[in-house]
């Protein structure tokens, strides 16, 4: 999304009393619908915009490791502008369940309290944690294979009569998402 569009959507709390105040900008990297990876430069620009307006920036990092591999950029650099990040361990990484949030100690403490307040929590999750750890340690380097397979699949689907993948899309496949 164009930075100017994001800026135009920020509500002025002094002039728009009938609408809620904008407090948060959310980005998703890579984006599930567009299949695009957000660059470090773009994320930094959105982060600067958020800070300028006193807003927080959240990055939905369900596929952040895929974006990092596709862009050849370290994950920490892709999320540097964010105040907090959520990372799904089952999407793409192969853990059976689970997500983690990353942020300041104060943010994590508040999230933990809110989770308990809303009834969240599990008992005896050691085996799930172990599987998540294996996913983080062993599956991230394997993501590049999924990216190659998605591109091959998109190109192959485009050759089948009755199936047509957008040529621009086939040329763009950067991660493991293939939509036709």
Q: How far apart are CA 86 and CA 73, in angstroms?
A: 18
pLDDT in tens, 81-131: 999 999 999 987 889 988 999 999 999 999 999 999 998 887 788 888 899
Residues above pLDDT 70, as percent of the chain: 93
Domain-wise residue ranges, the chain: 3-124
Closest CA to 175 of 139, 134, 145: 145
Strand partners, 60: 28, 86
Return the pLDDT at 135: 92
Return the pLDDT at 171: 56
Q: Does domain 3-124 have CATH number 2.60.40.10?
A: no
pLDDT at 163 exceeding the cut of 60: yes
Return the pLDDT at 110: 95
Higher pLDDT, 131 or 171: 131
Global pTM reads 0.85
Return the pLDDT at 173: 62
Contacts of 168 (CB under 8 A, 6+ apart): none
Instruction: Supply 1's token pair.
Output: 């999304």
At residue 85, φ and ψ (nearest 5 deg) are -135, 140
């Amino acid at each position: 999304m164009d930075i100017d569009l994001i800026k135009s959507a920020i509500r002025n709390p002094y002039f728009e009393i009938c609408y809620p105040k904008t407090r948060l900008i959310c980005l998703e990297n890579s984006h599930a619908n567009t299949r695009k990876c957000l660059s470090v430069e773009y994320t930094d620009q959105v982060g600067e915009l958020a800070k300028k307006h006193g807003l927080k920036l959240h990055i939905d990092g369900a596929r952040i490791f895929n974006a990092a591999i596709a862009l050849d950029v370290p994950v920490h650099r892709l999320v540097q502008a964010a105040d907090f990040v959520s990372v799904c361990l089952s999407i793409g990484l192969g853990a059976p369940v689970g997500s983690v949030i990353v942020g300041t100690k104060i943010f994590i403490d508040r999230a933990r309290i809110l989770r308990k307040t809303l009834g969240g929590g599990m008992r005896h999750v050691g085996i799930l944690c172990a599987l998540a750890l294996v996913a983080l340690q062993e599956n991230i380097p394997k993501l590049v294979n999924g990216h190659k397979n998605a591109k091959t699949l998109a190109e192959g689907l485009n050759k089948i009569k009755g199936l047509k993948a957008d040529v621009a899309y086939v040329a763009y496949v950067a991660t493991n998402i293939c939509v036709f």
